[in-house]
Amino acid sequence: MNLVDIINDLNFKVLFPVFIGIKFLLETYLKQRNIQSMEKNKDKIPERFVSVVTEEEYKKSINYNTDRIRFSMFTAFVSVGVLLLFTTGGLLNFLTKIVQDITQSNILGIILLGLLIVLVDEIVGIPLAIYSTFTLEEKYGFNKTTTKTFVQDLIKNLLITVVFSSTLYAVVISIIEQLGENWWIYAFLAVFLFQAVIFYLYPVLILPLFNKLEPITDEKFKEPIEKLLNKINFKAKGLFVMDGSLRSSHGNAFFTGFGNNKRIVFYDTLLETITPTEMESILGHELGHYKLGHIRRTLVSSIFFGFFGFYILGQAFMADQFFYGHGLDEITLYSKFLLFYLVIGSYTFFTKPISSYISRQREFAADDFSIQYTEVESMISGLLKLSKDNSSNLTPDSLYSSYYYSHPPIAERVKSLEDKKDLRNA
């Protein structure tokens, strides 16, 4: 029995709600555990952080993270409702009929249906984004976004989504129509190349649409930067400071682009609080991700899983039961493709803790790389400042963090660094 026959034999009318239910209940349970962990530890600052945060700051972090988790539980509930509305609720069928009345072209059809899905997502998502930005983040003093900036971001994001998704959808549907039963291989290659181009151009084409990037010119920061880059023998297009304060007081740093478009970006909010030696350590961490091959490994894994995903898509395309089982009666090339895109995440959520674990191990490795070239104390103090400024959860539940956290909890990172410091001094 081949995979197509197996898919046709499965009862997705039962499997789909079961998987959705398991995912929702599991994630809700983990979020409740995390809230309970914070509640259990709210009366006493963890010993390691007594000299780092005040009682008021600790209380703020607990309240902030509790409110965020409760809001995420609500948004997850809304997301489940929207997904069921699209699938078993018949909304995707209804929208497909509208598109069929307009055009018989599969290419134009997927563009129009994709736009309608984006429209529904925006109608649902905008009120949630408004609450998150202007109520939740505002309540705890993090929001710096004006109404004008919010609206501009909304329009820019919508235009970028429409242009990129329409282009990609049109290419994929053209390949399905013209390249025979192995179309999924060519579709995977086209999507991979498209994403690679976007990733390459992101620092120079997309990011500047939202934020100003300026080379770091402050001499007190330039000296340790140049010193570290020479030590590690790393060549980048530049190190930049970004006006993150335009939207939030949260601080961060990140690595973006590849090839001759590699850039390391620091939020201006971060540079306001850290010292030059702490910046050097944080930069060392970001460089570690590149030097240790984390970027390359992420690319390889995305190629593997992307190829596997398109293989499954290709098999599912030959098994109409898959689409009937998810509530789709209006079977067209474009409705099948978009339904698969909508539902596949409900079947792959169990891979999240695996990817989270791999990411956390890479964060530990990047920390270790940094302290080969910079001071351990500066790395520790820099992390503690980041944690404090962002009101990070200092007492996360272990199961919750294992499932969700792409970065190790701050206490674990600090302990790992302190253990290595002790070994050096032994």
Q: How far apart are CA 405 and CA 360, in angstroms?
A: 7
Residue 152: burial class (beta carbons within 10 Å; 0-12, 13-18, 19+): middle
Burial 214-227 (b: 16+ CB within 10 A, else e): eebeeeebeebbee
Given a contact cutoff of 8 angstroms between Cβ atoms, the answer to whether 310 and 184 are in contact is yes
Handedness of CA 157, 356, 67, 251 (dihedral sign): negative
pLDDT, one tens digit per residue, over 243-274 is: 888 888 777 777 777 666 677 788 888 878 88
**What are the phi and psi torsion angles at 253 (to 5°)?**
-145, 150
Helices (H), 41-146: 55-86, 91-102, 106-131, 138-139
Q: How far apart are CA 79 and CA 24, in angstroms?
A: 10
Whole-prediction pTM value?
Answer: 0.89
User: What residues does 213 pair with on adjacent strands?
Assistant: 242
- Torsion from C-alpha of 52, 58, 61, 64, nearest 10 degrees: -160
216's enclosing H/E stretch is none
Q: Which of 326, 380, 352 is nearest to 85 (CA)?
A: 326
- At residue 186, the pLDDT reads 94
Q: How far apart are CA 317 and CA 187, in angstroms?
A: 13
- At residue 353, the pLDDT reads 93
- At residue 5, the pLDDT reads 85
- At residue 74, the pLDDT reads 97
Cα separation values, 300 from 183, 203, 295, 297, 357, Å: 21, 21, 9, 5, 17
Given a contact cutoff of 8 angstroms between Cβ atoms, the answer to whether 92 and 327 are in contact is yes
| Other C-beta atoms lying within 10 Å of the C-beta of residue 143 | 19
Residue 287: burial class (beta carbons within 10 Å; 0-12, 13-18, 19+): buried
Q: Which of 386, 373, 371, 382 is nearest to 416 (CA)?
A: 371
- At residue 363, the pLDDT reads 94
Q: What is the DSSP string of 333-385?
A: HHHHHHHHHHHTHHHHGGGHHHHHHHHHHHHHHHHHHHHHHS-HHHHHHHHHH
Q: What type of residue sits at position 278?
A: E
- At residue 259, the pLDDT reads 66
Q: How far apart are CA 167 and CA 110, in angstroms?
A: 10
- At residue 75, the pLDDT reads 97
Task: Extract the tokens encoding 61.
Answer: 């972090």
Task: Extract the tokens encoding 358.
Answer: 């791999």
Given a contact cutoff of 8 angstroms between Cβ atoms, the answer to whether 321 and 14 are in contact is no
| Other C-beta atoms lying within 10 Å of the C-beta of residue 335 | 24
- At residue 13, the pLDDT reads 93
- At residue 81, the pLDDT reads 96
How far from chain centre, in Å, is Cα 130? 19
Residue ranges for the chain with pLDDT beneath 70: 1, 236-237, 258-261, 422-426
| Residue 171 CB contacts under 8 Å (≥ 6 apart), including other chains | 187, 190, 191, 194
Q: How far apart are CA 144 and CA 140, in angstroms?
A: 11
Q: Which of 371, 362, 366, 346 is nearest to 406 (CA)?
A: 362
- At residue 130, the pLDDT reads 96
